[in-house]
Each structure stands twice: as C-alpha cells, then as structure tokens.
Amino acid sequence: MSETKANSSFLNKLKDTVVINEGSNLPDITGKTLGEFHVDRRMHLSSGEADIYRCSGTGSHAGAGFVLKYYRRENAVKQEVLEKIRSIKSPCVAPVAGYGEYEGHQYAVRPYYEMPVLSEVLAYGNTISEEELKTLIIPSVIAGLKALHDVGILHRDLKPANLIPDNTCEHIVLIDFGISSDAGKNTFVVTHTGMTPFYAAPEAMQGIFHKETDYYALGITLFELFTGFTPFQNPGLSPEAAAILASISKIEFPENFPEDLKKLILGLTYKDISHRNESDNPNRRWGYDEIRRWLAGEDVPVPMEPFLPSATEVLPYTMDNRKLFTASDLVIALLKNPEHGIKELARGKLTQHYGYFDPEKEELCKRAEMELGSSENEHYLAFFRLMYRISPNESSLFCGGKEFSGLADLAFAAVDEAIAVAENGCGLDTEEVSPFLKEVTLMLRSGALKHYAEEVEKNAEAVTLFQDLEKFHKTAGRQYSPVQQALVFGYGFSNNRKLAVLGVPYSSPQDFADRMVSDSKKDRYAHEKQLLAAREELEFLISAMPDTASQDGIQLVYDDARSAIFGDFEFRFRDENDFNDFVEECIRKGNTYVVKSLLYRYGESLEAIASCRYWKGDTCDRLKKIVDTMIPMGEYLFADEKAFARFVHDMEEEGREKPLFLRDFAQVHEPYLQKLVDADNSSIAKLARSLLKHKNDVEKSDRIRIWGNRYPSLSSCSGGRGYGLDLIDDEGVG
C-alpha cells in the first residue's frame, strides 16, 4: 500500500468535529473489570447495537486506553470472527484486544482512537476532498478490506461511521465488526441483512454477501464523503426503500463531480454480479486490484451497466392524470384530498403500487387497510398515520387543500375560519360548517392531530395540550359546535385571539371589551339586552381562552352582564361582594338611610336573587341584621350603639360653646330620646338620658359680652368628659 499521511486540512476537519451523544438502555457496567480491562465510564456514543465504554488496560495492557462495546442482543458477535480479526496485523483494521461475556451479554474491546469517525466529520458540515480520498482514505480502506477478506471475513457494514483515523492520523482504521460474517472457504454467505440500507448492494437486500458487497459499500461511502450525502438519500424515502430504489436505479452525480472519481464509484457500484469470478471480464464490479490500479493512474475500464432508470423515473403513481414520482409528492397530493386518499387506500391501490418495489411500504399500506375500521374517524386516522409513515420526512400539515407549516400555523387559520363562519351563521353554536372547518374537526376527533404532535413534530408540550383538550371536552357536559371546537384548538395552539359574539367579529378580547363600553354609553338598555343574549357565548369564550389576559378582557364584559341593576339604574352591583362593600362604605360615611332604603325597597328582590343562586344566600339576611341594629332618633338614624355614643359626645361638646342649642335640641327631640330611655337597652338609655338632662338647663349671667358689658345666658354644662364618651374607646375618640 502506498504511504498515507493526513494533511492539515483533513486534521482541521477532525478537530472541529463535535461528537453527538445518546443514551442507552443496558445496565451501566462502569467500574467493572472485565478480563484485563477496567471499565472507566460510559461514552454514550450513538450506537444501535451496543453501549460504548472507555476502558483502561491492566496487566499486559496496562497504560493503554481502550473502547469496550457491550452488546444488547444475544450472539451479537461470533467468536470465530473475533479470533480471525485478532490474527490480523494490519494498521487499517482495529485489532481485537479482548472479548468475552458478562451477565448474558457479549462484549468486545478495541483500542481507543482519539479522533472522530468520518460520519461525525460529515455531520459537522465537512466533506473530504478528492486529494484526501486518494492519498489517505481509499488506500487505507482497501488495505483494511484486503486484510479482512484474506482471512475470510466480510465486514458487511462499511460506511463513514465505521471508519476512524488512528491516533497518528496516518491511517484510516476499519472498526465495528458487529455484523461481520465468517465466509470460511466459501466465496459468499447467505444471511439476514443487517447492513445499513443506504450502503447496501442489491444482493445484500436479498441477504447475500461476498467481498464485492463490501466494495459496493465503499463506492457509496466515497460518494458520501465527497458530497456529504449518499446518492439515493431521498427525504421522501426510508433508508430501506432507498436501498431498493438503488438496486434498480442509476447513480446521478452532481455537476462538476470529478470524472476520475466518478469512474471509481461507477466501477465499485456495478450492480451485475454474475461475472464476479471472471477476472478478465471488464463487466464486473471493481475490487482491490482495480482500485489499486486506479490509484496508480491506470485507465481501468469501467463496467457497462445495462440501461437503468434514474431515481426519479421509478414507477410513478398516477393520480388525476398526474404522475407522482416520489413518496413525498404522492403523500402531499393525497393529504390535500384525503377523501380520495382514503378511497385509494381502501381499494388497495397504494398497497399494489408499493408492492412492485418497496416491501416495507407495501406492509405499511396493508396494515393501514386493516386499521380503516367502520367509522369516519377510524378511516381518517388510519389514512393520516400512513401518509406520514410513507413519507417520514414530511412535516407539513394539509387541511382544506391548503398546506400549513405545523400545528401553530393550522391553529391560527382555524380561528380565522371559525370566526368567518360564526359571523355568517350569527353565533358560535351555529351548525353551519365550511369544508375547511369540517376537516379540522375531523382531524381533532380522529386523533390525527395528536398523532402528528407525537410522531411528526415530536412535541411533548403539544401532546399535553391535546390531553388537556380531551379533558376540556369531557368536562363540558355538552357537544360543542364545529366553530367552538375549532376555536378551542386554535386558541390553545396559536396566539390568534379573534372572537365573535352574536355573529359580530372582534380582533381581540380587548377590542370586544372596548366596544362593549362604547355601546353601553350609547344605549344602556340595548346593551343590557345584547349582553343577556350573549351570556352562553361569553361563558364559552372565557373557558376556551388559555391565557389569563384574554380571559380577563371577556370576564369584565361578562361581569357587567351579570351585574344586578336596582331600579331604573339607581344602583348597579357586579356581585354580592360589590354590594356588601357598598353597604359598608355607606355605614362608614353615615349614609344609614341609604342602607335602610336598600332593604325596604329591594329586600324581596335580594331574596329572589339568593334563591336563584346568583348571589350568596346570606346577602339579604346580612342586610337585615345591619338595619336591625340601627338606632332611630327622629330624623337621625345611627348605624349602631357606637355611632350613637359618638353623636351624643359630639352634641355635648358642641353644647359647651352653644348651650342654648343643646337645650333646644333636647327639648325638640324629647319624645324620641324618652323612647330610647324606655327601650330595653341600658347602654342606649344612658346615652339618651345624657342628652335629656339638658332640656331643663337655665341661663346664667356674664356669658354675653358687648363692649365690655356682660349679659346673662344659659349656664354651660359642667366641665369634664361628656357622658357619651363612656361608650367610646380612645381610638374612636381620636
């Protein structure tokens, strides 16, 4: 093999690469010592067949670093394969440092290489130049394959993920022999395919492997290393379907692809293997000898493939006189017309189509046919699931013949459509429905949108929202109209807050609240009538809005609608708390007659409100207790004994300066005061007597002065604290 050496450009690509880690399902064996290897830590490298661990060598391996693969499945690696690989001394094949079994699972140990595998280099956005392929990659890989094939081992999974630079970066090393086979003296083996489909030769898809199968994978690998993608990598196809497509299609090279490299890849990916043992036949797949001669600059004849269709010409699906060449095109066309798509599925046309070239999709279609069920919901869900399984990279949603980028986009449009229908139908509970809303509600009822959130968007938060929607509908106790169902979905998954009340559209809850205030000012009675009719719609909108700000805007209007209006708008109370606050404020300000008036004028109505459970039942009783504790005295009405005591105190204080006023007040109010004295309340009686004692006060002289002359007047009350103060605490006086 020619000498290989990594250049600085290639080294930079390795150093810039970030390794993406994943978790594992096997028990953690960190800290165990298996043979001469101490397990240091789990590396969490991406691997579908095993957990990967960093190890430290002990004994004869002391001081060296290793990688241990702890396999999930039983009999993952054959012992004879490991022993043969162990005998290889090539620097381009990762040696087997040790192997064994621990707790029912096999493990194998190889040296630890510091650089990333080439697939990670590609994942980070780098590609390998033609020069790097010729001077390092290709010489190393064919040397490694020859070493394997010479001892009868087929790698069977050659790809960038199984190629890694050694620690000197002078060789590329073949790693991961988890599915390798021991061909023994045979030239090929027949086995279950475990090869990564993108790199699988046509015969590999039938379970047949030989050394030329590894070279086919090398051709695909070189194409990917140079371009960054495999030749049959199609977003609308699964890897397995792409492999089947590759077996009947020719490779399409990008523009400006190097001709010399193109010849190599065409030679390595020649599909006809009938002449593989005829060394002098030019129409056979290239192997080690042809590649070595190509590297030396020889003009090696390229085998001539019979005519093969290109990838875009394979078995088109005809629909409405259109030919649909890819799974993505077919799925989009059917999702835009689901009624037609369900018929195509039910008639077996999709199963028949994929039966010609894609067994996996054929099986998916058969399964979907069995899931169609008997109801419209079952039909739609089975069809919807199938579409996104046929084209797993499709992420758009389709409804009413339109395409949407995802749930949020569809939800926003659902609100717009629901408001438009409600406006025309004059209400949220209208049974009028547009084709778009009909499909939205079908997608909701069938569970299709929840499936989309789980399997396509893979959005855990959206799945939780759908679970909340299911609870919302179960607790509603009624069947919502298509408009209401669309609004609940639309509000929950988008920021569209348009609404309609009694068929009138509003741009937002705030817009609705503002216009209601304006309407109220223009015509109060018409506004009240409108709100009464809109009560159920307002209750629905409050429950459907997912955010507090939107709920509050509608709640204000709703509270206004459920307010109690006393008389001809004499009083208006939002609820019983508002009413009680008003009563307390009146008492505080001394407006006791207003409180008493509320009871005598509206007591019967208050009892009726309570009996209908609009307000709490104790509202009227509470008002009665307040009025019962009031103390009447002529034109005065005191809220309670404390208020009366304060009044008496204030009158006596004023009487010190105006004694005639106090005497006259006592004389005028004598009947009322006497009635309080005779009442069965000693505290109030004392207060009344305190005022009554002044009705017989007499005038004394020297109280009126004019120009130094004194004139007789009513003597003042004796000094000291007034009697009324005996019932007022210091805080009350202050």
Mean pLDDT of all residues in 107-127: 93
Residue-level pLDDT at 524 = 73
For residue 79, give the amino acid letter. Answer: Q
Please compute the mean of the pLDDT values over residues 556-583 and round it to a whole number: 80
What would the two tokens of residue 408 be? Answer: 């949020």
pLDDT at 239: 61
Beta strand 504-506 pairing with 499-501:
antiparallel
Residue 400 has pLDDT above 70, yes or no: yes
Q: Where are the beta strands (DSSP E) in 179-306?
A: 181-182, 188-190, 208-210
| Residue 175 host element (H or E) | none
Burial of 634-663, coded b for 16+ CB within 10 Å and e otherwise, reads: eeebbbeeebbbbbbbebbeebeeebeebb
CB-neighbour burial class of residue 60 (10 A; exposed 0-12, middle 13-18, buried 19+):
exposed
pLDDT digits (tens, 9 = 90+) for 337-364: 999 999 999 988 898 888 877 888 899 9
pLDDT of residue 62: 94
Distances (CA, A) of 492 to 410, 468, 498, 541: 12, 10, 13, 12
The region of weakest confidence among 23-37, 132-146, 281-295, 557-571 is 557-571
Write out the DSSP string of 463-503: HHHHHHHHHHHHHH-SPPPHHHHHHHHHHHHSS---EEETT
- Residue 374: is its pLDDT beyond 80? yes
Half-sphere exposure of 57 (CA within 13 A, CB side): 15
By C-alpha distance, which of 214, 255, 249, 213 is closest to 233?
A: 249
Cα–Cα distance for residue pair 498/550, rounded to 1 Å: 10
3-state secondary structure of 190: strand
Instruction: Grade residue 124 by pLDDT with cuts at 50, 70 and 90.
Output: very high
Taking the C-alpha atoms of residue 720 and residue 45, their distance in angstroms, rounded to an integer, is: 96
**Straight-line distance from the first to the last Cα atom of the chain, in angstroms, rounded to the nearest whole number:** 108
**pLDDT given for residue 235 in this prediction:** 54
Instruction: Give tens-digit pLDDT for 614-624.
Output: 777 788 888 99
Work out the pLDDT band at 708, boundaries 50, 70, 90. low
pTM: 0.46
User: Is the pLDDT at 233 greater than 80, yes or no?
Assistant: no
Share of the chain above pLDDT 70, in %: 84
Cβ–Cβ under 8 Å, residues 46 and 23: no
Helix (H, G, I), strand (E, B) or coil at 460: helix
Which residues lie below 8 Å from residue 136, measured CB to CB, with a gap of 6+? 4, 5, 6, 10, 171, 172
Consecutive H or E run containing 357: none
Domains of the chain with bracketed CATH: 20-111 (3.30.200.20), 118-295 (1.10.510.10), 315-390 (no CATH), 571-628 (no CATH), 639-733 (no CATH)
What average pLDDT does the structure give for the chain? 83
Nearest to 483 by CA among 497, 469, 496, 500: 500
In three-state secondary structure terms, 248 is: helix
> Torsion-angle region of residue 44: left (phi > 0), alpha (psi -120 to 50) or beta?
left
Say if residues 607 and 619 touch (Cβ distance below 8 Å). no
| 8 Å CB contact between 275 and 281 | yes
Q: Is the confidence at residue 473, as pLDDT, over 50?
A: yes
**Chain segment 641-700, per-residue pLDDT in tens:** 899 999 999 888 888 878 788 888 888 999 999 999 988 778 899 999 988 988 887 655
Please name the residues in contact with 509: beta carbons below 8 A apart, sequence gap of 6 or more.
Answer: 497, 499, 541, 545, 549, 550, 551, 552, 553, 554
**CA-wise closest residue to 38 among 61, 72, 19:** 61
Share of the chain above pLDDT 90, in %: 45
Q: Average pLDDT, stretch 50-71?
A: 93
For 7, phi then psi, to 5°, come to: -85, 175
Q: Which residues pair with 417 in a beta bridge?
A: none
Residue 724 clears pLDDT 70, i.e. is over it: no
Structure tokens at 24: 């594992």
Give the distance, in angstroms, between the CA of residue 376 and the centroid of all CA atoms in the same chain.
Answer: 27
Q: What is the pLDDT of residue 707?
A: 73
**Residue 305: what are its φ and ψ, rounded to 5°?**
-75, 145
Q: Which helix (H) or strand (E) holds 37?
A: strand 37-42
